[in-house]
Amino acid sequence: MREKIAEALKQALKSQDKRRLSTIRLIQAAIKDRDVANRGAGKDPVSDEDILAVLAKMIKQRVESARVYEEAGRLELAEQEREEIVVIKGFLPQPLEEEAVKRACQQVISDVGADGLRDMGKCMNALKEKYPGKMDFGQASGIVRGMLR
């Protein structure tokens, strides 16, 4: 992942794509922050799964920011956030199709031994661990909730 991001940074520099360049630099800074936090906690350097989690968190932040900007009437800032989302999503693997998400949810429910809504957290944690950056966890949450009822 790090090499892919570094290569994308070089391409953005060559093409003088300012939005893409600044977004990739933000990605690298977030990964570096996670590296420093891990080092301070005595953990291993950031893995590809950790990078996927960082990217997913960045997307979630930008979706929320875009919504807030729209509500405040700052459409140019909302559009900027959406452009950054597109760049960040380019580094994530293709998301699972809805049928694959349903199968994964069913599998996790049986693996965890969930038998009611009180086991929802266990199921979601297992999904986040198994499929970082590969599915929309908001969608998965609704599917798991429906299966546990």
Cβ contact 119:112 at 8 Å: yes
| pLDDT single digits (tens) 85-119 | 999 999 988 878 888 889 999 999 999 888 888 88
pLDDT at 81: 95
116 closest CA partner among 143, 95, 144: 144
One-letter identity of residue 32 = K
Q: Where are the beta strands (DSSP E) in the chain?
A: none
Q: What average pLDDT does range 40-47 have in this prediction?
A: 85
- pLDDT band, very low/low/confident/very high, at 135 (cuts 50, 70, 90): confident
**Domain limits, the chain:** 2-89, 98-148
pLDDT at 48: 85
Question: What percentage of residues in the chain have a pLDDT greater than 70?
Answer: 99
pLDDT at 71: 95
The DSSP code for 116 is S
- Asked whether residue 21 carries a pLDDT value surpassing 90, the answer given is yes
Q: Which CATH class is domain 98-148?
A: mainly alpha
- pLDDT band, very low/low/confident/very high, at 128 (cuts 50, 70, 90): confident
- Asked whether residue 10 carries a pLDDT value surpassing 90, the answer given is yes
pLDDT at 114: 85
- Residue 132: strand, helix, or coil: coil
Lowest-confidence region among 24-28, 31-35, 59-63, 112-116: 112-116
CATH 1.10.1510.10 for the 2-89 domain, yes or no: yes
The DSSP code for 113 is T
